[in-house]
């Protein structure tokens, strides 16, 4: 039984967060980076008990959890390094000039305020309580209130304790981080509506993310909701590559589709290609490959039931042929591939909805024109993969340009599952894959979501934040009078 945090307790936590926000405004980027590295150390110190607990709650294998723990630690440390460098505060200084009426102007980014983070079920470490949303918000200077995911409460509590212990050791206000539990829908609504909450981060279903987005926009003071809500991550397989590598591509596709029992937001749920002998070879190879897949338990019963329901619904649609499936026990992900034609896919919105799990649709096209028609009608995606040779790209320039408008990450061959925590990663795409395609939830650039600019005009140097002082005590790169500058500013008057 998961304890439901009372509204009275939540209210206290929100007020504590508001007070902590005032404290965080007095910290420098260097101080926050030191804190973030301390949290990474705390998580790293969590021993075998963390992995055993997460395995028991999620059915994820120990090897996967070990890797995800390392990724989570790496997120805190890489984000800390990025925060300390000052790139997300974007310091700008325009010094007074005789022709300027406004005098001295200095600008940088500060944290938005208290942030609510909703933990995700499919990544109990990297996208949950101590995941990238929490790390990037704190790095930006924002207190965090985590609404723990009920699918792994003990794991969530252990990660929360690691952050809380770091807060205590630093002597920082308790409201820097709060951990709220429960299964009530009303709790999420209450937090998203609260006047002292200034942003929301969410990873999960379209219905959940869109509901939070709508609530936040109906407020008297609307706030941003950074929701990652799902994606079918289509693969467009072009002719020359299909002719040369149909069997190899089938192996890669089924591997990506069923990775983690299909419980990644980047699993390629739709495969699109022009009809012909090479596509026939691809489908034949898929039938062979799928029998090598060993069904495994899904994360929790709710995900399994939704997977079974949506799979059954897709199969029941007109114009559908089941290509291959595995036999699975109750509660295990039964890998399934179906086939339809381009016009059925275009005319039936059910077929372009995400099925969270090891489920794929092969869409057969009569021509390149139908490939383009599907691209034109695609909704926003996290990823789109172009399986192609160089000749394919030259011959399909119109298609490639269209696909750039539809996704956050465009792959040339390769598989979309697996998201590197690096600066150049974009994990976010046009609606409805996310609510704001300008931002990423993976990589150090995730910090950008939780800051806003503020400009100081004609303030004495002693009252300016450290990041904008003449002496540049933090030794960060700044734009001074339009030029990159890391030096101290030797000014007689400011």
Within 10 angstroms of residue 90's Cβ, the number of other Cβ atoms is 15
The radius of gyration computed from the CA coordinates of the chain, to the nearest angstrom, equals 25
Q: The tokens 């995400």 sit on which residue?
A: 354
Of 57, 68, 252, 265, which is the active-site residue?
Answer: 265
At 337, phi and psi to the nearest 5? -125, 130
3-class DSSP state for residue 401? helix
Q: Are strands 115-118 and 199-203 parallel, antiparallel or unpaired?
A: parallel
Q: The tokens 């559908």 sit on which residue?
A: 320
H or E stretch at 173: none
**Rounded distance between C-alpha atoms, residue 414 and residue 429, angstroms:** 19
SS (HEC) of 28-58:
CHHHHHHHHHHHHHHHHHCCHHHHHHHHHHH
The token pair at 395 is: 């011959």
At 47, phi and psi to the nearest 5? -90, -150
Buried-exposed string 335-355: b where 16+ CB fall within 10 A, e elsewhere: bbbbbbbbebbbebeebbebb
Sheet holding 321-325, edge to edge: 321-325, 336-341, 359-365, 270-274, 235-237, 381-387, 407-412
The answer to whether the beta carbons of residues 152 and 183 sit under 8 Å apart is no
The token pair at 360 is: 């794929």
Sheet holding 115-118, edge to edge: 177-180, 144-147, 115-118, 199-203, 225-228
- Our CA dihedral for 28, 33, 39, 42, rounded to 10 degrees, sits at -120
From the list 237, 232, 281, the residue with the least C-alpha distance to 380 is 232
Q: Is 228 a catalytic residue?
A: yes
3-class DSSP state for residue 493? coil
Buried-exposed string 429-456: b where 16+ CB fall within 10 A, e elsewhere: bbebbbbebebbbbbbbbbbbbbeeeee
In sequence order, the 6+-apart residues with CB closer than 8 A to the CB of 369 are: none
Q: Is 265 a catalytic residue?
A: yes
Of 57, 68, 142, 228, which is the active-site residue?
Answer: 228
Q: Are strands 483-485 and 478-480 parallel, antiparallel or unpaired?
A: antiparallel
Would you please indicate which residues are annotated as catalytic (active-site) residues?
228, 265
């Amino acid at each position: 039984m998961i304890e439901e945090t009372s509204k009275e307790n939540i209210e206290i936590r929100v007020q504590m967060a508001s007070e902590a926000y005032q404290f965080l405004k007095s910290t420098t980027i260097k101080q926050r980076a030191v804190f973030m590295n301390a949290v990474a150390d705390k998580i790293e110190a969590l021993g075998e008990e963390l992995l055993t607990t997460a395995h028991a709650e999620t059915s994820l294998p120990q090897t996967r959890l070990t890797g995800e723990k390392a990724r989570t630690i790496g997120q805190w440390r890489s984000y800390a390094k990025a925060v300390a460098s000052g790139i997300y505060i974007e310091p700008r200084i325009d010094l007074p000039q005789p022709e300027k009426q406004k005098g001295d102007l200095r600008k940088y980014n500060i944290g938005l305020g208290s942030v609510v983070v909703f933990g995700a079920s499919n990544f109990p470490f990297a996208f949950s309580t101590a995941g990238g949303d929490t790390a990037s918000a704190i790095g930006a200077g924002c207190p965090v209130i985590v609404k723990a995911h009920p699918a792994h409460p003990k794991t969530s509590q252990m990660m929360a304790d690691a952050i809380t212990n770091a807060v205590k050791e630093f002597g920082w206000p308790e409201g820097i981080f709060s951990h709220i539990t429960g299964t009530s829908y009303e709790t999420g609504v209450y937090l998203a509506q609260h006047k002292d909450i200034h942003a929301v981060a969410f990873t999960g279903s379209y219905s959940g993310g869109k509901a939070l987005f709508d609530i936040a926009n109906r407020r008297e003071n609307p706030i941003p909701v950074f929701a990652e809500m799902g994606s079918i991550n289509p693969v467009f397989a072009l002719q020359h590559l299909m002719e040369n590598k149909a069997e190899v591509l089938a192996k890669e596709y089924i591997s990506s589709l069923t990775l983690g029992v299909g419980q990644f937001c980047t699993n390629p749920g739709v495969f699109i290609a022009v009809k012909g002998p090479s596509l026939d070879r691809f489908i034949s190879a898929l039938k062979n490959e799928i029998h090598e897949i060993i069904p495994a338990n899904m994360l929790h019963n709710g995900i399994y039931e939704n997977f079974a329901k949506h799979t059954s619904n897709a199969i029941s649609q007109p114009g559908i042929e089941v290509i291959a499936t595995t036999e699975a026990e109750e509660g295990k992900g039964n890998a399934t591939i179906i086939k339809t034609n381009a016009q059925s896919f275009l005319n039936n919105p059910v077929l372009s909805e995400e099925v969270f799990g090891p489920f794929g649709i092969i869409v057969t096209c009569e021509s390149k024109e139908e490939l383009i028609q599907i691209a034109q009608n695609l909704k926003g995606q996290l990823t789109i993969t172009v399986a192609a040779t160089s000749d394919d790209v030259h011959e399909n320039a119109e298609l490639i340009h269209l696909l750039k408008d539809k996704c956050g990450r465009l792959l040339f061959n390769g598989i979309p599952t697996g998201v590197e925590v690096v600066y150049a990663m974009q994990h976010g795409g046009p609606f409805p894959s996310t609510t704001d395609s300008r931002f990423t939830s993976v990589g150090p650039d995730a910090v950008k979501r939780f800051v806003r600019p503020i400009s100081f005009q004609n303030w004495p140097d002693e009252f300016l934040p450290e990041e904008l002082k003449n002496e540049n005590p933090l030794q960060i790169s700044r734009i001074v009078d339009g030029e990159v500058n890391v030096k101290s500013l030797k000014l007689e008057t400011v």
